[in-house]
Amino acid sequence: MAGEILDNQGRGEASWSWPPIHPEGRKYGLIAVAIALIPLVIFDWEIIGWPLLFLAVGVFAFFRDPERVVPQAENAIIAPADGLVTLIRTVEPPPELQGDDGSGQMGLAAEPMTRISIFMSVFDVHINRAPIAGIVRRVVYVPGKFVNADLDKASEENERQHVLIERADGQQIGFTQIAGLVARRIVPFVKPGDTVAKGQRVGLIRFGSRVDVYLPTGTEPRIVMGQKIIAGETVLAELGEAKLLEGVAQ
């Protein structure tokens, strides 16, 4: 029956609908609506009330949480964030993602690797997703500044949270959620020891920010500077057979 099935065979009926709002943002949207209604209903100040009501709609839109079709290729590393690729650099990963964290669990090697920086404007979806499937080995919060997240130095100076995920074959991918000028809160949805699927929601950053992804040494990016990418759907890179065998050997 039409409308019951939506698939890649052309069955069912599809139409646009407002994306669902993540529970984390509902309270902020309702607060914004309440503030807008005060000048509208109580004081009849339309010149103030309508712009505030429009802003409240924007708050709801910021926390939208659309469904994504996650690439199922085993070796694919997918984008953890919506936004614009603003930096591609060869750097060492942050100390928080390197070496032994004191539990005997080793992290990323202290060697240069490709860092892809994804800048999220206030118009982007801010739900972050796991770039690979595996076990969350580290979630490390680091307090810091709130300079423009589009700047290179934001990776070392801004408030941030590092996440390390390890696949079943031992291969690890690290990424960092970075606060910006407007962003003031990084909200994790996972903790060390959790098992996550590729593309699973792992956190969000409120009101504009950036995510850095560290690709394993020798992995070539499949994206370019200035490209607009989609969390949970865009493939950043693919792990080659050499990397897979290396991970198993370790």
Which residues are marked as active site? 209
Contact 163, 175 (CB under 8 A): yes
Query: In this structure, what DSSP letter does residue 204 have?
Result: E
C-alpha 4/C-alpha 1 separation (Å) is 6
Name the 3-class secondary structure at 238: strand
Closest residue by Cα to residue 120 from 68, 152, 158, 81: 81
Tokens 């560290």, located at residue: 214
Any idea what DSSP says for residue 190?
-
Q: Which of 117, 90, 75, 91 is nearest to 212 (CA)?
A: 117
